[in-house]
């Protein structure tokens, strides 16, 4: 999933903040199953995963112990039926998604859950493929209890918006991205780049991101490049995170050149004393956007993390009926790749030169003032 909106799971909050202070087990019921859902569906992904777990307070056992027991964290697949529906964009009908959700172990999918208090292998989720831009409805039917749970999320559709950069970028004539420039007094200064979207954007919450392309290679003891050692690499920079426009058409973000160099210094390794060297290349800009359900979840999570009023709110945000967690959607807006305005943007000569000598980046091994494309 491509958004940073990458989320701290609600199960810990449910178990550890809502229930741990109660001495009356009967208040919540003994071994009462509660669905906990997490999923962000991005139509650009080749596979989509929805995590469905359960939360409850065992009557005679620590919740921290239960968190390590897979049979306690997950519904028995024979007891529950999980179905995904989509809402037709033309007629509004609710239709079953033609590719059934399949329960998989995320470890087998190459996705390893962070270690912590919860069991991370196995780590089950429901997988499907081929999802496009629709509203979705998730249904969890617990055959054992007879309870049915629903969650619905609206689609994020990247249809008509486009990205504008100011100063505007073009290849013919060359107007490169400049993070370092010269002011009217002839002094070198950091430049700024404004990024915004046309129309009303395409989502409810945004991350503004850049991808920096560069190459790494090895040198011999005489400083000459070793043949066959060049490797192309990228580094992703989230320049503006969790941005919620005050009004839909106010999507402008002003990005500091100084922050760009700080990002490189904090992200790439110091190669001092090694034979590794680097060469800077292109820059990309794109915007990840999330649905209103994702926005509401992130806002609620931040309120919880801030200990509003000194305590967690009584109920965390959820769009799962009679459950916890949320289902959301996301999409990515990229610049189109045109001859005069390509997706991969060049930077100014002074920008490349400054990567070599800037205090934030001088130990990163960028040898040349010239870019490598």
pLDDT in tens, 306-320: 554 444 444 678 999
Residue 32: the pLDDT is: 63
For residue 111, name the pLDDT band (cuts at 50, 70, 90): confident
Per-residue pLDDT averaged across 152-163, rounded?
87
Q: Which bin fits 309, alpha (ψ -120 to 50), beta or left (φ > 0)?
A: left
pLDDT tens sequence across 292-349:
999 999 998 887 665 544 444 446 789 999 898 999 999 999 998 988 889 999 999 9
Per-residue pLDDT averaged across 49-74, rounded?
64
Number of other CB atoms surrounding residue 183 within 10 Å: 9
Instruction: Report the half-sphere exposure of 227 (CA within 13 A, side-chain side).
Output: 0
Question: Which of 242, 243, 239, 288 lies closest to 267, judged by CA?
Answer: 239
- Strand ranges (DSSP E) for the chain? 34-42, 48-55, 80-87, 94-96, 102-105, 124-128, 135-142, 148-153, 163-166, 180-182, 188-190, 192-197, 205-218, 231-243, 253-256, 276-290, 324-334
Instruction: List the end-to-end C-alpha distance of the chain, in Å, as a whole number.
Output: 28
3-state secondary structure of 19: coil
pLDDT tens sequence across 187-242:
999 999 999 999 899 999 999 999 999 999 999 999 999 999 999 999 999 999 99
Buried b (16+ CB within 10 A) or exposed e, 235-264: eebebeebbebeeeeebebebebbebbbbb
Residue 134: the pLDDT is: 85
Q: Is the peptide bond before 73 cis (omega within 30 degrees of 0)?
A: no
Has residue 354 got a pLDDT over 50? yes
- In DSSP terms, 347 is beta-bridged to 177
Contact 48, 41 (CB under 8 A): yes
Per-residue pLDDT averaged across 164-174, rounded?
94
Residue 23: the pLDDT is: 35
Spell out the SS3 assignment of 247-265: CCCCCCEEEEHHHHHHHHH
pTM of the model: 0.83
Has residue 356 got a pLDDT over 90? yes
């Amino acid at each position: 999933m491509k958004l940073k909106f990458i989320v701290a799971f609600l199960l810990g909050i449910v178990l550890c903040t809502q229930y741990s202070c109660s001495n009356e087990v009967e208040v919540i019921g003994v071994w009462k199953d509660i669905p906990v859902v997490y999923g962000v569906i991005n139509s650009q992904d080749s596979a989509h995963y929805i995590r469905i777990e359960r939360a409850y307070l065992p009557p005679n056992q620590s919740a921290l112990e239960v968190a390590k027991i897979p049979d306690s964290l997950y519904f028995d697949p024979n007891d529950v039926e999980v179905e995904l529906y989509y809402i037709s964009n033309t007629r509004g009908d609710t239709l079953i998604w033609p590719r059934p959700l399949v329960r998989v172990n995320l470890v087998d999918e190459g996705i390893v859950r962070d270690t912590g208090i919860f069991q991370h292998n196995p780590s089950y989720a429901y997988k499907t493929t081929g999802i496009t831009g629709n509203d979705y409805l998730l249904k969890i039917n617990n055959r054992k209890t007879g309870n049915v749970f629903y969650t619905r999320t609206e689609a994020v559709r990247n249809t008509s918006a486009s990205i504008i950069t100011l100063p505007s970028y073009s290849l013919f004539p060359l107007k490169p991205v400049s993070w370092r420039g010269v002011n009217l007094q002839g002094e070198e200064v950091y430049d700024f780049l404004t990024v915004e979207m046309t129309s009303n954007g395409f989502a409810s919450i945004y991350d503004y991101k850049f991808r920096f392309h560069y190459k790494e290679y090895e040198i011999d003891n005489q400083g000459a490049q070793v043949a066959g050692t060049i490797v192309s690499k990228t580094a992703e920079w989230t320049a503006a995170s969790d941005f919620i426009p005050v009004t839909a058409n106010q999507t402008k973000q002003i990005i500091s050149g100084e922050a760009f160099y700080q990002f490189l210094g904090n992200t790439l390794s110091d190669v001092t004393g090694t034979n590794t060297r680097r060469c800077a290349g292109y820059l990309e800009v794109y915007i990840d956007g999330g649905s209103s359900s994702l926005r509401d979840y992130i806002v609620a999570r931040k309120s919880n993390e801030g200990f509003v009023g000194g305590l967690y709110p009584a109920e965390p945000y959820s769009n799962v009926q009679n459950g916890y967690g949320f289902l959301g959607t996301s999409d990515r807006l990229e610049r189109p790749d045109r001859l005069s305005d390509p997706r991969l943007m060049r930077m100014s000569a002074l920008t490349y030169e400054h990567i070599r000598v800037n205090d934030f980046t001088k130990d990163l091994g960028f040898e040349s003032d010239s870019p490598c494309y």
